[in-house]
Amino acid sequence: MTSDESNRLFEISAGPDGEPFEENGLGQRTDFQSRAPRAGADFKEMAIRRLTDAGATVERIDFEIDDIPVDAQVRGQDGRSFLVLARGTPYEHSQGGGRRTDTLEKAGFRAIQLARRQNLPILLITSDLPDRASKAGRYLAKLDGDVWDVVAFRADLRGFHRLQRTFAGSVDGPPDAPWRALLGSAQPTLPGGPDEVPST
């Protein structure tokens, strides 16, 4: 006895050209989702390396404070400790790291909750800083009272120098930085310009 029934779990009818239907861009989106956790882990390693290059010592990695995930706790040369949130991608992308509003919403929530629950200053390390006038730039500036500083892995030599001064103990409070400047007064940091730190 023969049967015309398929033994597949789902039968999808063919599209107009005779091929099974597949949503446009589905492969690209699913590829991104499968790569995202690995890229995030790779970026965290890059961020920790940048902090140690600036003079920090890592005290602990991947822990929680009142259920809020923290990527690292580091100590400066003066003995002062900082909590670290690392959000970004190892790959250059026009919407990488802090240029994405959803990334800032997530990181911002964590930063605000951590600032409420403990007294250590918070550093946000991202792969890329947004333009100050963009929506992401405005989101980032709203974290002014909750984070010590935000430093990008790419194209942010000034940020790296701020980290060095922070870990040396030569600053008393959160440093002035373009990301927290009043809108219209921020000095842009351009990729490939004098503020770029070569990726290593």
- Whether residue 20 lies inside any domain: the answer is no
User: Residue 183 pLDDT > 90, yes or no?
Assistant: no
- Whether residue 55 lies inside any domain: the answer is yes
- Whether residue 4 lies inside any domain: the answer is no
**Mean pLDDT to the nearest integer, 18-27:** 59
Q: Hey, CA dihedral for 135, 38, 58, 167, is it positive or negative?
A: negative
- Whether residue 29 lies inside any domain: the answer is no
Give the range among 14-23, 113-122, 168-177, 183-192 with minimum mean pLDDT.
183-192
User: Residue 184 pLDDT > 50, yes or no?
Assistant: yes
- Whether residue 2 lies inside any domain: the answer is no
Which pLDDT does position 194 carry in this prediction? 39
Q: How far from 193 is each of 8, 87, 131, 184, CA to CA, in Å?
A: 56, 23, 15, 20
How far is Cα 189 from Cα 194, in angstroms, rounded to an integer? 8
**Is the Cβ–Cβ distance between 154 and 196 less than 8 Å?**
yes
**Residue, of 110 and 188, whose pLDDT is higher:** 110
**Is the Cβ–Cβ distance between 157 and 151 less than 8 Å?**
no
DSSP state of 182: P
How far is Cα 83 from Cα 31, in angstroms, rounded to an integer? 32
- Whether residue 185 lies inside any domain: the answer is no
Give pTM, 2 decimals.
Answer: 0.74
Q: Is 164 exposed, middle or buried (0-12, 13-18, 19+ CB in 10 A)?
A: middle
- Whether residue 107 lies inside any domain: the answer is yes
Which pLDDT does position 25 carry in this prediction? 63
pLDDT-derived band at 193, boundaries 50, 70, 90 = very low
Q: Can you give the CATH number for the domain in which 62 is found?
A: 3.40.1350.10
User: Residue 37 pLDDT > 60, yes or no?
Assistant: yes
Range of the domain at 116: 41-177
- Whether residue 64 lies inside any domain: the answer is yes
Which pLDDT does position 91 carry in this prediction? 79
**Residue, of 189 and 178, whose pLDDT is higher:** 178
Q: What percent of the chain has pLDDT over 90?
A: 62
**From the CB of residue 156, how many other CB atoms can be counted at a distance below 10 Å?**
27
β-partners of residue 60 are: 73
How far is Cα 141 from Cα 153, in angstroms, rounded to an integer? 18
**Residue, of 136 and 184, whose pLDDT is higher:** 136
Which pLDDT does position 58 carry in this prediction? 98
| Number of domains present in the structure of the chain | 1
**Mean pLDDT to the nearest integer, 93-115:** 91
How far is Cα 169 from Cα 158, in angstroms, rounded to an integer? 17
User: Residue 196 pLDDT > 80, yes or no?
Assistant: no
Q: Produce one character per residue of 123-136: b if its CB has 16 or more CB atoms within 10 Å, e if not.
A: bbbbbbbbebeeeb
**Mean pLDDT to the nearest integer, 169-197:** 70
Q: Is 110 exposed, middle or buried (0-12, 13-18, 19+ CB in 10 A)?
A: buried
Give the number of residues written for the chain: 200
